[in-house]
Every structure is written in structure tokens, then in C-alpha cells.
Structure 1
Amino acid sequence: MMWKIISLMALFVFVSACTVTGNVVKEYNDETEVYFCPFDDCGSILAEKLKSANDINCAFYDMDLPEIAEIMKNKKARLVFDHESSIITSGSAVDPKYSQMHNKFCILDNETVLTGSMNPTKRDTSINYNNFLILHSKQLAKTYNDEFGELFNKTFSGGRETLQNSHYINNNIVNVYFCPEDWCANKILYVLNEAKSSIYFITFSFTHDQIGDLLVRKKKEGLNVAGLMEKSQNNPYAEFQKLNESGIPVKWEATGANLHHKVFIIDEKVVVTGSMNPSLNGDTKNDENLLIIYDEELSKKYVSEFERIWKIIDEK
């Protein structure tokens, strides 16, 4: 009964916020780009994108790359960080630490959004496993700029609900949410519940019981469910044991690099990504951004990343 109630709530929230209507502007721009760190040179790609921009707004949990900091300074970028750092430039807002400002996104020239799981740090760009997305959309950029405005004005851990969640980019639906105000876990539960054949996940911290329970149920229904988790996050609240005991193939990543993705891939057609870990803090306390992207071509790239890391773990 509890699952039915949660499912119906998630359905109502998701459909009411995300249905593509005539009000959604269809945009046809450059294709969405995705890079996977450390295999791709994410730091250099980020630097080149920033150098080519005139107007830059960024919200990062952390940053320690001197080249990126210098570009930000020269471009007079507006920045929001989670905590004070010697590398922070002037014109920045800092979360007062009630919770984490855990976002990782930039808006360039009001028309391009950079996001994913990657912070501009040495570890995240050259050691840890991360995804780095570049989306070309003025409408999506406006949605992110609205959120950035709240953060820059020091409205942390819950501003107003997002006015425009759904975007139609190159014939693909891109839904964006900001946690905690947009009930992000419900959005993940809804899209996972819609899965018909497979769910793959790559997660850093995975402690959200309802999401774990749903994966177990999908496994019992006969779907192909498998996942990768970061072993440094092994604790009594982690979903690993529950998933493993239910017969879901799930592996710890313990090679020295952090598995920093926050990704679900549904039916090899839909990608859930962003800064939010599937955890209670990620859903209800931290400032986060979450993307649900209906793009089969992009999804297959994420499947390849899943398979690549799975193979690396097997070979260790």
C-alpha cells in the first residue's frame, strides 16, 4: 500500500510538472555533448568552453584548478561555491553550511548549460569517474539562470519550485529539477517505475531506501537490473546489501578513483544524471540539480560508460 501511495504521488507531481505542452518551445541547436572523465580530458574541455564565453554563471561544490580559476577571474564570472577556498575569486556567493550547495553547473552566454557530476578539481577531472554534459538551449539556460539567481542571492536549500521543467531540444525531451524544492526523488521513482526492460545505475552515495526498494521490485518483475557503487561510501545505510541479496548484480568500485557518477539508465533510452546522489540528503537538504533526458543516442553512450567501468572493476 505504501508503494502505491508513493507511486501515485510521484505520478501526479511528475505529470503535472513535466508534460510537454504547446507552451514548450522546440529548439534545434547543436547536439548535446557528453564527456566521461578521466577518459576524456574534461578539464581542458571545460577550459575551452569557458574561454569562448563572454557571460559566465557557475555553481560548484568545489574548485581547485588554477587554470579554471584564472579564466573565471579574467571573464569576471559570477560564482557560487559550497565553502570558502583560497581559489575563490571575487564576486562569489558561499553557502553558509546549513547543508551542502552540491551543484555542478555553468551557464554560458545565456544559451549553453554545462553540468553533470564533475567539479572543476584535479581529482574529478583526471582521476575520478564523472560525466560532463554540454547542452545547447536558450530555454534550458534560462531555467538554470533562474536557479543560479536564487543561489547567488543566497537562497540555499529550497527556493521556489522550477517554473519550466520540460524542454524540447533536437526532438528530445530534457526535464530539469532542482532539489529540494522540486521533489527530485519522486521524479527518479517515476521514471524508474516506467522501465520495461533494463535499469543500470552508477552511483557514488546510494542510501535512498525507496529507490533501492523499487530496483528490487523491478528485478523481481524480470527486468535486467545491475549497478556500480563507490566502496568508500559503504556504510550501514548503503543500499548495496539489499540489492545484492535480491540477486541484482552490483559491484563496488575500489580501485583508488572515486566512482562519482550519479546516473541511472532506463531501457537504454533515458538517462538520469546531475549532481544529486540517490540519498535523503541529496533529495531533501542539499542544493542539487537533476536532469532526466529522453535521448536514445545519448543513453547508449552512458551504457558504454557503465560497461567500461564494469570491465575495469572485473580486471582489477
Structure 2
Amino acid sequence: MQTEAVFEDIGIRIQSEIRKAQKSIFVAVAWFTNKGLFNELAIKAKNGCKVYLIISNDEINQKSSIDFCELETENSKVYKIGNGETELMHNKFCVIDNSTIITGSYNWSYKAETNFENVIINTNDTTLAEQFINEFKNIVKKYFPEEFTSNEIVFPLNKIIKRLEILKNYIQLEDIDEIKREAIKLDEYEFNGDIAEILVDLRKQEYSSAIRKIEKFISRNHQLARWSDPEIAALNLEIKNLENQLSGYDNEKIELEKLLSEFQHRHTIELGDIIIEILKLRKQKFRFDKSKYEEAEKDESQYKQQVKAEKEKFIFDLTDEQKIELKKKFRKATVLCHPDKVNDKFKDDAQKIFIELKDAYDKNDLKKVSEILNHLETGSYFKSRSETITEKDLLISAIAKLRHQISVIMNEIITIKESETFKIIVEIKDWDEYFSSTKEKLKREFELLRKEIGNKEDVTAI
């Protein structure tokens, strides 16, 4: 933990701290006209850092040359508070990566550059950072109760403390393998100075130093760690497991359906023309039998429509490597947007993306699948039920719903696998050979049928 007072070039120093941000930035300032500082925030938001900004909703900010809409993205949000007169938001603080706090008299404005101002910069102070973030959330909650949720946590103090306690126990048990395994789980929080120091000690196997720092961190932050119901944690874990099962079964079903679709497409493209000719001959064969003729005519019409539809489909040709890449990216994307996994309020949006994703997958459109995956990974991520539901009864209800969905999809998979078409497909070892031999059989059938009709016409003529 380090504290520094800054009196000169404050704007430049704040820019420097913003550039260090990796995960999140919370800013609450009354007046914001300094475009240089705003641009730094916009760059961070564009690069995936979560940026939240509170400003006073008054004339100064309204007339600012800054376009605050630039921060209205998936990774960032601007909250304009009060009316600038009777309700004035006068805070001036910034929290970076739940670790660094910048606060003081300095407003993020050009006018402040010419005033006698100051800021205090506290680094590696998780306790103080948590207090400021809580205040930020309280302000937003007062004016925008529906918009800001407590789920936007990039430094989950409760879990981190529990992991550190586990690490401490493993050190005392002298279990080096488990120490390494558990330490890896803290890597994503290494942006926090305290955690970084602990991890450095663990990697150097300086366990006495590590345990002192762990105890210090726990002691300093334990009062901020909120109690959590262990049953809720268990229910969340169960939901995650069921969501993964559902995703796995759904992927299996999609793979089976894709196999059937690809077989039908190739069957139609390679054999469609000869089958149509055979159907024409069958219709001709039954021209004196009204019932059979109408049935043959219907078969011909329906099959022609099927052939037309299949020929209008565009399916990309992929190499074996590209097919593997396509499947891998598709499965990764489905985890992020499957409508049966996400919270109900995200379901409609997730459904639209999932339909687009599946359509691209069915067409072997590797480029489109890659684009959708990239979009999901860089911002448009739908939180799962296990991440957004906290009430116990809702969790239990979600579990029951997931179990039902898994049961339904398993039955659908069984139905596909027991179908005659699927059984035929899985028996085919070489599709090229199958379609070649089938085409020859159909040609022979065509010739026999044509001769049969020709002979009948000769008899009729006599």
C-alpha cells in the first residue's frame, strides 16, 4: 500500500494511472471537460476494460465539448446525476482495478488545471477501493435503481479471501502441488498489487513471506467480505454443471442434425436429377390409374421443391482443418449465447444471436462463426443464470427447469439416433463411394422403368 500527494500536472498523472488499468475504472467527478482524460477512458473501454462514469447533470457538463455517448457501450456507462442546482453530485474520485484510488479537490476539467488543486493517490489499497466502489454503487442505485447491478464485480473479495485461506492451509500442510494449483486460480487478479506480491512470493517458494502477506490481506479486508450462504454457492455450482450438460447435449443434437442436413443436401445435389426423372416415369406408368397417378404426381412435385430448395442453399467447402476449427469455435460461442443458459432478461437477444450462429454453422460459414464468437468474447456476453440469480428459491426453480430441458433434449437425441436415415448414414464408410454406387443403381432403375413403359405402350398400340 502506498499513498502519494500530487499537486502539479495532476491531469497528466491521472492519465498515467488510467493507462495502467486492466479490468475496471470507476470515476465520479462533478465536472468533466478535460478531453484528454476522457479519451483515455474511451480507449480503455474500447479495449475491454469496464468503465463507469458519474458526472453532475448540470450546464457545465451539458455544454462540454465531450461526447459522453462514446462511453455508452457494452463495456462502459455514463450516469448523469441530479439537476446541478438543488441536487449536486460533488464527488471527485476514481478507482482503478479495485486497487488504486485517486481522490482530492481536482475536478476533471480544464479550469482545474489553472487552480490550486490536489489529489491523493492510494495504490494497492483494496479496502479503501471497496469503500469507494460501494459509494459509487450507492449513488447510482439511488438514481438508476434498475441499471447498475452488483454482478459487475471484477475483484470478488469474498472468493479471493477464501482462496487465500485455502492457500494458507496448504502452506501449513506443506503441500507444494496444491499450492501451485490453487495459486493459478488467483492469476486473473494479479492486477491487484497485494495479490501480485503474494503470487511472486509463492512462485519463488518464499512461503513465510507469502503467508505473512496473506494474513495481512485477510485481516485488512475481512471486514468488507460479505457473508454468503453456502447453500446458494452450492446451488450456483449445480446450475453451472447443469448448464454445461445442457450445452453439451445441445451441441450433440446440433451435430446430429447437421450430419442429417449435410447428407440430405449431398443426396439431393448428386442424385436429385435422376430421381426426378424416375418420378416422371412412375407418373407416366400410372397415367391410367387415377389414384396412383395423383400420388406419383404429388411425390414428383414435392421432391422438385426439395431439390430446388437444396440447390439454392450455399454451403461453404472447408478443409478438414477448417471443419475442426469451425466446430471448435461454434461450441465456444454456444457457451456464451445459448438461450437456455442465460438469464431470462437476456434470453431474446441471446436467441437472435444463437439463431444467426447456428445458421452460419449449418452453412459451414467459418468467417461468420468467427465474427460472432469474437463479438461475444469482446463484449456481448450474456451472463448465465448461475451468475445473476441470487435468491435461493429462484435457483432451485432454475435447476428444475434445466433438468427438464436436459431430459427433453436427451429424448430428441435418442429419436434422431433411432431414425432409419441416421442408421443408414452411420453405416456409410465412404460417402463418395456410396453416392457413386447409388447413382448407378438409380440409372439402372431408370432404364428398367423406361423399358417397362415402352413395352406397355407397344402392347397398347397393338
Fold match by TM threshold 0.5: no
Give TM-score scaled by structure 2 length.
0.26
* Rg larger in structure: 2
- Report the TM-score when normalising by structure 1: 0.37
Q: Which has the higher contact order (CA 8 A, sep 6+)?
A: 1
